Amino acid sequence: MVGFKLVDRGLALVSTLVLARILVPSDFGMIAMAASLIAILDLFGAFGLDVALIQRQGATEAHFNTAWTLNIATSTLIATMMLLLAWPMSLFYSEPRLTAVVCCLALSSFVQGFENIGVVSFRKEMNFHREFVFLLGKRVAMVCLTISLAVVLHSYWAMVFGMIFGRVTGVGLSYALHPYRPRLSLAKLGDFFGFSKWVFVQNVLYFLKERSSDFIVGRFAGPHALGVFNVSTEIASIPGTELIAPINRAIVPAYALLASDPAALRREYLSVMSVVCVIAIPAVTGIACVAPFLVTAVLGPRWADASVILAMLAFYGIFAALTSNAYSAFLAVGKPQLFVRITGAYVVVHLPLLTFLAHRYGALGAASAHLTASGIFLPVTFYLICRTLDIKMRYMLAATWRPVVASAAMYAAVLGVRPNIDPATTPSLIALQWLAILVPLGAIVYVVAMVLLWVVSGRPDGGEAMILRFAQRRWSSLAARSGGT
């Protein structure tokens, strides 16, 4: 599943990077402003119906039909509200062009609700190959059309039409790939409420945590700053979206199956956490190391403002990756309210800080607010997950300390070698040459440090051992195939 999702999310990243070369930051800011309205209206449908269907082992056809009916109702409501609020949103952002954009995207939201609810079975039954085909089909359709239109139009309208086409394609694929044919029904409405109310509250709080910056940065600093902030966020979140999110997506049903066996669930959680740390921490730290060169080589001089912001948000990505696995565990054991409380406390601290710093320093202030609030609540999340799963803190530290120390060594080594550059004036070719030096250097330092720390620690059965066993199995499989040909 991780490999499948790497392709899907990799296409999204490539699309963003290509579009960043064709379009300007304000184009991305315009779409982010429209997306902020979509995100807040999507909260009306944020009941986590797909998660509820996965978590409920005895889900029947009536449950699937009820979920599909609710999706249609909420998508219709969201599209209607978008049409009504399009003009007021343009006044809020002082951006007249926003009215037409929001009205067009209302069609995208409406179409989304008719997606075949049967595709949830792909995850419930761990049929990740079929889900990969479904996700990839949507992504390829959207990416191809968006980039083609961007080359012709050189406008944010390319992204608008691409989003609409992607949603339409997704609905068509959902019925082509799964034989289930849902019917309108609300027979099991009550069964969803007990579980979904906490998921709904969590999604509301998640919006305030992750998407409030769209409103605040867009209102105080304008579309250019918002575009820089959002693209920097997307690049900084690569380890979470490209590497860790697929693991979490796949692990929720596995956690749910182990919920009745606390000892097995603890072992599984610590194993997953160890792998997450070994992969995500160095990846995010690496982005922070080479941020100026990455901006210069990939985005270009028009995005020079993103250099410092990207480095800061990369460290924020470490906190996000480490806490995402906890949310999966809370859902699996049927206690989403615990993560709701964590996120609620986070929002109470984060929103005032975000408003103050973004008003004073724009996108840079918003990045500082994200980093500060996340640093405060990471230990809180670890404490609650340890208490919930009855994990001793020393076991949690044993799963995380080696990647942290090895990543710190990598960071120090790269910073000691790299020169200081100005992303606005440095040629892209020079930045690429330095990336070709710094990335392998960082990787070598990290791997060597990890191996040394693992050996000194007595070769514990953590993420390193799991990755080594996986590599050995793959090598043996490839060797067997080569020997048989």
Residue reference for tokens 């790497």: 6
DSSP 178: -
Examine residue 203 and state whether it is found in any structural domain, yes or no: no
Instruction: Note the pLDDT of residue 466.
Output: 77
Q: Same structural domain for residues 177 and 260?
A: no
Does a structural domain hold residue 144?
A: yes
Mean pLDDT of the chain, nearest integer = 83
Amino acid 152: pLDDT = 92
For residue 392, the surrounding DSSP H or E stretch is: none
Q: Cα(182)–Cα(361) distance, rounded to whole angstroms?
A: 50
Rounded to 10 degrees, the C-alpha dihedral 436/19/38/141 comes to: -100
Does residue 159 contact residue 24 with C-beta atoms inside 8 Å?
no
> 256 and 391, same structural domain?
yes
Q: N- to C-terminal Cα distance for the chain?
A: 28
Q: Contact, 132 vs 7, CB < 8 A? A: yes
Question: What is the reported pTM?
Answer: 0.73
203 touches 2 (CB < 8 A): no
What lies within 8 Å, CB to CB, of 272 at 6+ separation is 247, 251, 325
Instruction: Give me the helices (H) in 335-462, please.
Output: 336-361, 363-389, 393-417, 428-456
Give the containing element (helix H, strand E) for 80.
Answer: helix 61-93
471 in the same domain as 323: yes
**Could you tell me if 183 and 220 lie in one domain?**
no
Q: Is residue 234 part of a domain?
A: yes
Cβ 82 vs Cβ 112: under 8 Å: no
For residue 104, the model assigns a pLDDT of 93
Q: Does 295 lie in the same domain as 177?
A: no
Q: What is the DSSP secondary-structure string of 6-71?
A: HHHHHHHHHHHHHHHHHS-HHHHHHHHHHHHHHHHHHGGG-S-HHHHHHH-TT--HHHHHHHHHHH
Last residue of a domain, one of 144, 175, 198: 198
Residue with tokens 């607010």: 369
Residue 147, domain member (yes or no): yes
Instruction: Give the DSSP letter string of 258-292.
Output: HTT-HHHHHHHHHHHHHHHHHHHHHHHHHHHHTHH
Tokens of 420: 């200081």
The amino acid sitting at 41 is L
In this structure, are residues 318 and 285 in contact, taking their beta carbons and an 8 Å threshold? Answer: yes
Task: Kindly state whether residues 295 and 159 are assigned to the same domain.
Answer: no
* 152 and 239 within one domain: no
Q: CB–CB of 265/72 below 8 Å?
A: no
Q: Does the residue 60 lie in any domain?
A: yes
Q: What is the pLDDT of residue 157?
A: 94
- Summarised one tens digit per residue, pLDDT across range 363-412 is 899 999 988 998 898 888 888 888 888 888 888 888 889 999 999 999 99
Give ∠ CA 86-26-367 in degrees, rounded to 5. Answer: 100
Quote the domain boundaries for residue 135: 1-198
The count of C-alpha atoms lying within 13 angstroms of the C-alpha of 142, restricted to the half-sphere facing its C-beta, is: 27
Q: How many CA atoms lie within 13 A of 43 on its CB side?
A: 16
- How far apart (Å, rounded) are the C-alpha atoms in residues 109 and 392? 45
Looking at residue 435, its pLDDT comes to 93
In the chain, which residues have pLDDT < 50?
A: 1-2
- CB distance 240 to 321 below 8 Å: yes
> Quick one: tokens of 192?
């969803």
User: What's the confidence (pLDDT) of residue 14?
Assistant: 79
Is the separation of the CB atoms in 82 and 40 below 8 Å? no
Q: Are residues 86 and 174 in the same domain?
A: yes
386 and 468 housed in the same domain? yes
**What's the pLDDT score for residue 147?**
92
Please say which residue of 164, 198, 232 terminates a domain. 198
Rounded to an integer, what distance in angstroms lies between the CA atom of residue 245 and that of residue 324? 8
What single-letter DSSP state applies at residue 298? Answer: I
Last residue of a domain, one of 167, 198, 229: 198
Residue 195 CB coordination number (10 Å): 20
One domain, residues 224 and 109: no
Contacts of 289 (CB under 8 A, 6+ apart): 410, 411, 414, 415, 418, 438, 442
Angle between helix axes 189-210 and 336-361 (nearest 10 degrees) is 30
Of the candidates 342, 198, 327, 186, the one whose C-alpha atom is nearest the C-alpha of residue 269 is 327
Instruction: Spell out the residues 6+ positions from residue 207 whose beta carbon is closer than 8 angstroms to its own.
Output: 39, 40, 43, 46
Which tokens go with 85? Answer: 């609020």
Within-domain flag for 70: yes
CB hemisphere CA count around 423 (13 angstroms)? 21
* Residue at 206 is within a domain: no
Residue 284 included in any domain: yes
| 254 lies in the same domain as 181 | no
Q: Looking at the structure, do residues 424 and 276 belong to the same domain, yes or no?
A: yes
Q: Within a 10 A sphere around the Cβ of 364, how many other Cβ atoms?
A: 19
Number of domains in the chain: 2
Rounded to the nearest 5 percent, the helix, strand and coil shares of the chain are: 85, 0, 15
